[in-house]
């Protein structure tokens, strides 16, 4: 009796790496006046009208930074949550319904896996249920005159595959490339700028992918050690 391969019919999600000029969507315009700021969305918090997202500011945050955010008509309030040597975690209460880009992600049941922004442009990793939904979202952006640039589209690895130790595909790619190019050699054989150029993303995005990859690897290994004790 013939038995179908159910894995062949499994619906696989799709991830798109995209970029958008800061002036072309509301969230980008909120941060656009803040020169040289590098902002990262905390991916554990979903972005929708019922939640207040958390962001990381890489670098020192003074009162003028928060005052510049509050001047945006879309911002209700900002709150500093945690301060570390090189970054600040803060809450931004804003009306996401005024943002066509963010609303489009929500309407297509998309998820923001990662978002890094500067005053000129933002880079996103977006997950959608299928390629068809991603195509629909791309059509939505064109009709809304959002100049979205799609840098890469891929199907994530099987979440049950433990070979990558919890790393996302972009994190594994960045870590592998950094190792192959000698980024961790002493002295270093390449810079994050060189890695960024090869991957087609920003210097800051490479730095964050490497940082998250190391955290994921360390967490997986510590969990493994703890389970064996």
Residue 124 maps to a domain: yes
Residue 224 maps to a domain: yes
Q: Which residues of 176-196 are buried (b: 16+ CB within 10 A; e: fewer)?
A: ebbeebebeeeeeebebebbb
pLDDT tens for the 229 residues of the chain, in order: 333 443 444 457 898 989 999 999 999 999 888 877 888 888 655 565 545 688 988 876 778 888 888 888 889 999 889 888 778 899 998 888 889 999 999 999 999 988 988 888 999 989 999 999 999 999 999 999 999 998 888 887 644 444 455 677 788 888 999 999 999 988 889 998 999 888 888 787 888 888 888 887 887 777 666 666 6
Residue 3 maps to a domain: no
Looking at the fold, whether 55 and 142 belong to one and the same domain comes out as yes
pLDDT at 199: 86
Return d(Cα 118, Cα 40) in angstroms, integer.
9
Residue 1 maps to a domain: no
Structural domain boundaries, residue 149 = 12-154
Looking at the fold, whether 123 and 172 belong to one and the same domain comes out as no
Count of domains forming the chain: 2
Looking at the fold, whether 96 and 121 belong to one and the same domain comes out as yes
Which CATH number fits the domain that encloses residue 185?
A: 1.10.10
**Distance between first and last Cα of the chain:** 47
Looking at the fold, whether 131 and 207 belong to one and the same domain comes out as no
Residue 2 maps to a domain: no
Looking at the fold, whether 21 and 108 belong to one and the same domain comes out as yes
Residue 175 maps to a domain: yes
pLDDT at 47: 60
The whole-angstrom distance between residue 132's C-alpha and the CA centroid of its chain comes to: 21
Beta strand extents in the chain (DSSP E only): 14-21, 38-41, 54-58, 75-83, 87-94, 111-117, 121-128, 149-154
Looking at the fold, whether 92 and 185 belong to one and the same domain comes out as no
Residue 69 maps to a domain: yes
Looking at the fold, whether 119 and 53 belong to one and the same domain comes out as yes
pTM to 2 decimal places: 0.71
Looking at the fold, whether 145 and 49 belong to one and the same domain comes out as yes
């Amino acid at each position: 009796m013939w038995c179908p391969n159910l894995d062949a019919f499994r619906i696989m999600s799709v991830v798109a790496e995209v970029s958008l000029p800061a002036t072309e969507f509301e969230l980008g315009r909120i941060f656009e006046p803040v020169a040289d700021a590098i902002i990262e969305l905390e991916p554990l918090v979903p972005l929708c009208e019922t939640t207040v997202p958390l962001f990381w500011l890489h670098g020192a945050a003074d009162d003028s930074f928060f005052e510049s955010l509050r001047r945006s008509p879309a911002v209700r309030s900002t709150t500093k949550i945690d301060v570390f040597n090189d970054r600040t975690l803060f809450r931004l209460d804003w009306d996401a319904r005024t943002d066509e880009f963010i609303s489009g992600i929500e309407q297509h049941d998309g998820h923001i896996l990662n978002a890094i922004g500067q005053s000129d442009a933002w880079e996103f990793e977006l997950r959608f249920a299928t390629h068809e939904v991603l195509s629909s979202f791309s059509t939505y952006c064109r009709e809304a005159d959002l100049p979205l640039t799609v840098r890469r589209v891929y199907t994530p690895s099987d979440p049950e595959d433990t070979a990558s130790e919890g790393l996302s595909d972009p994190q594994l790619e960045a870590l592998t490339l950094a190792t192959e190019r000698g980024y961790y050699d002493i002295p270093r054989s390449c810079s994050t700028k060189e890695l960024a150029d090869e991957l087609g993303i920003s210097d800051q995005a490479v730095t964050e992918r490497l940082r998250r990859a190391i955290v994921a690897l360390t967490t997986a290994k510590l969990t493994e050690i703890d389970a064996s004790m």
